[in-house]
Amino acid sequence: MCSAALLGLAVSAQADVTFAYGVTAEDQLNRVGVYLYPPVQTEGVLSTGGPLVAQAGQVSAQVNAWADVRTGMFKAMTRVDINPVGQKPTDIAEAYARLDVTDTLVFKGPGATATAEFRLSYDTHFSGLGFEAFAREGALSHFQQLDSFRTLTLSYDIENPDYDPGAVCTDFGSDGVYCPPEAQRYLTIEKSAGKSLFREVALGGPTGIYTNGDADNGHYSGTEVLTLEVPTGVEVRLSYTAYSGARCFHLASCALVNDATHSDYLALLAPQGFSSASGYAYLGVAAAVPEPATVWMGLAGLGLVAGVLRRQRR
């Protein structure tokens, strides 16, 4: 396969955090592979270990990402570039980073319930979206995408006040099993919040262009707030995902940047206090990481190293 690719994965000691990332570059003319570095974990901060680049001819994909779940932080810079002069639109470049967290929380308080407020803050820049119409190459799909999303789901179980020990479930064979509400001893309460920023620009028909999504080139920032009353002393399941990515698919010219280096923070405000099975604080505060200018200076240096590696392999 004419590609240069890297995938990374790191899991914390509690096995409740997954930090994954990848870069792929496929130039149909130049079949060059560059092999890079594994992910690193230092003092609780998961990262790509610096900016990573996949290069294949005139196609490149770059990712630099950090995550610190102790403070609820996720940051990423993803970039893809395709510029093979005079070539058919068949090249591919992809870069992404993703954080998944699961945890169990117990809220404290003198009463039967406590107030909990979750804040999902984000700050993302999209650039490079858009291209001129061209004739489709065979039956291939031609598109570009920028994607940034974060989701939070909380759930817990309470006793069903209508529970009847004598109630039974009915088995309908291939249609499944139906249990009436009174047959369920516990009810699951679930609340969620999130924010998605996404845009796809694609070729429609022989030479038309269409777009999907609600975000375009520009700066997007804000905070999604989820406030709820939760029972004290009850285990509350938390599931949180943050993602940043860029993709150019079957194109001859494309340059996208998803700058989320000042991006996602998950904060939890509980006046009466809470405990976390993983010991995380969810403070929603920034960690010390390089500024974007420093990030791209590092990427430029790494690009020179990649060029030397390619010449050595040849």
Q: How much is the pLDDT for 42?
A: 62
Q: How much is the pLDDT for 95?
A: 93
Q: How much is the pLDDT for 138?
A: 85
Q: Residues 73, 100: contact at Cβ < 8 Å?
A: no
Distance, CA of 178 to CA of 184 (rounded, Å): 11
In SS3 terms, 136-148 reads as CCCCCCCEEEEEE
Q: How much is the pLDDT for 204?
A: 86
CB crowding 55-89: b at 16 or more within 10 Å, else e: bbbbbbbbbbbbbbbbbbbbbbbbbbbbebeebeb
This prediction has a pTM of 0.84
Q: How much is the pLDDT for 66?
A: 92
Instruction: Count the neighbouring beta carbons within 10 Å of the beta carbon of residue 214.
Output: 10
In SS3 terms, the chain reads as CCCEEEEEEEECCCCCEEEEEEEEEECCCCCCCCCCCCCEEECCEEECCCCEEEEECCEEEEEEEEEECCCCEEEEEEEEEECCCCCCCCEEEEEEEEEEEEEEEEECCCCCEEEEEEEEEEEEEEECCCCCCCCCCCCCCCEEEEEEEEEEEEEEEEECCCCCCCCCCEECHHHCEECCHHHCCEEEEEEEEEEEEEEEEEEECCCEEEEEECCCCEEEEEEEEEEEEEECCCEEEEEEEEEEEEEEEEECCEEEEEEEEEEEEEEEECCCCEEECCCCCCECCCCCCCCHHHHHHHHHHHHHHHHHHHHHHC
- Mean pLDDT of residues grouped by 10 in the chain (314 residues)? 56 64 83 50 79 89 91 94 85 93 94 95 96 89 97 94 90 90 91 97 88 96 95 95 96 96 93 91 70 48 42 40
